[in-house]
Amino acid sequence: MTVYQATTSAPVNIACIKYWGKRDTKLILPTNSSLSVTLDQDHLRSTTTSRADPSFKKDRLWLNGEEEEIKEGGRLATCIKEMRGLRRQLEDQDASLPKISGYPVHISSRNNFPTAAGLASSASGFAALVASLAALYQLPTDASRLSLIARQGSGSACRSLFGGFVAWQMGEKADGSDSYAVQVAPREHWPDIHALICVVSDDKKGTSSTSGMQRTVETSTLLQHRIKHVVPERMQKISEAILARDFDTFARITMQDSNQFHAVALDTDPPIFYMNDVSRSIIALIVEYNRVAVANGGKLKAAYTYDAGPNAVIYAPKENIKEIVELIVKYFPQAEAFKDPFGLFGTQGVKGRVVEGFNEAVAKPFSVGAVKGLIHTRVGDGPRTLGAEEALLAEDGLPK
Ligand code: DP6
């Protein structure tokens, strides 16, 4: 008997121009366009296996081995329903196709990074879900078409259907049909863009993106200014900077936009704080590191950006990453040895150090654990279709 099953993986993306605000909460239509860098799945990814089988009783989904409820009308149900609808259209047009759209599905998904790291997994998770259903249903649709569906799972997920540098065009139609992701440039265009994720220790439960951004839409006047007068120009300028491989402009806009996103969070009533003292100290270090570079006649060498939590993501050309790791480690001593996937440090390991001319007084050193881990990665590719040996469902249709 034929087994109808597919396994795919999808990447994490971190925005340079932030999505923050919905004009339609059900369809997940944003109040502004956004732009992100897709990170390398060799280091961070969600993997999902989907299987359609007439013996299954109902649609079921497991996340990291735990079953999640598929709520009627909820985000998961919407994505599955939309994908099934596309399959049904194909079956209606071509009578020779097996009618698997009528079968219930079992879906098993895993992240290769700990949820405790506080890295948003909804983007890679929903992108992997949609990509695996597209493979299961053998849909000939392109990534932008699929991004329309992933968007309804989690807004930022639509950008994880492409590798490289990706824009989510907000669109203007009420039905959302023009609100999808497009690739600005593939990773091969600028493979030198690396990322250092500083996983910042955080014990308090933060405000979720979904509820936080809705409160911002309802109460922030600064958001209205951002939507109308700031983001459109930044989208244009940063896209040009990416095409020209102009890191200085890319970095300047990325940092400005992170700052403004956190400013609209602060402008929300009641205010939302996502960054903490550790986050702000990392900003001070990157600002000083860039100041020294410019004072020496150079250009910006690194850009920080923060999402809805205290973790820092530092984008930089590969050649600067060693200095940046040394800088971070000097102020944030690490309990564990730095994982060095690109072989920057040889066998000696990392030693904390600042570049010549650096004003060490811009931040105070923290104790071990303030930054509980560093992940070094780079710009990566889009979803990958994997072989049967990587499947996450066992023969009986339950998670392995
Ligand atoms: C700060 O995509 O998680 O990371 O659409 O409600 O699921 P929902 O929100 P989500 O928001 C991400 C917000 C952000 C900025 C960004 O990724 O652009």
| Candidate of 156, 179, 210, 279 to mutate for ligand 1, largest count of ligand atoms within 8 Å of Cβ | 156
> Does the C-beta of 210 come closer than 6 Å to ligand 1?
yes
- In ligand 1, the atom with minimum distance to the C-alpha of 208 is 3
Q: Which residues contact 149 (CB under 8 A, 6 or more apart)?
A: 79, 82, 83, 130
CA dihedral 324, 330, 336, 340 (to 10 degrees): 20
pTM score, whole prediction: 0.97
- In ligand 1, the atom with minimum distance to the C-alpha of 156 is 2
Q: For the purposes of burial, counting CB atoms within 10 Å of the CB of 319, is it exposed (0-12), middle (13-18) or buried (19 or more)?
A: exposed
Q: What is the largest CA-CA distance in the chain?
A: 72
Q: What's the complex ipTM?
A: 0.99
pLDDT averaged per 10 residues, the chain (length 400): 95 98 98 98 97 98 96 98 98 97 98 77 95 96 96 98 98 98 98 97 83 97 98 98 98 98 98 97 98 98 97 98 98 94 90 97 97 96 97 97
CATH 3.30.70.890 domain span(s) along the chain: 193-378
Q: Are 14 and 37 in contact (CB under 8 A)?
A: yes
| Candidate of 16, 19, 151, 266 to mutate for ligand 1, largest count of ligand atoms within 8 Å of Cβ | 19
Identify the three-state secondary structure at position 265. helix
What is the CATH T-level fold of the domain 193-378, as seen in this structure? Alpha-Beta Plaits (3.30.70)
CATH 3.30.230.10 domain span(s) along the chain: 4-187+383-390
What is the CATH T-level fold of the domain 4-187+383-390, as seen in this structure? Ribosomal Protein S5; domain 2 (3.30.230)
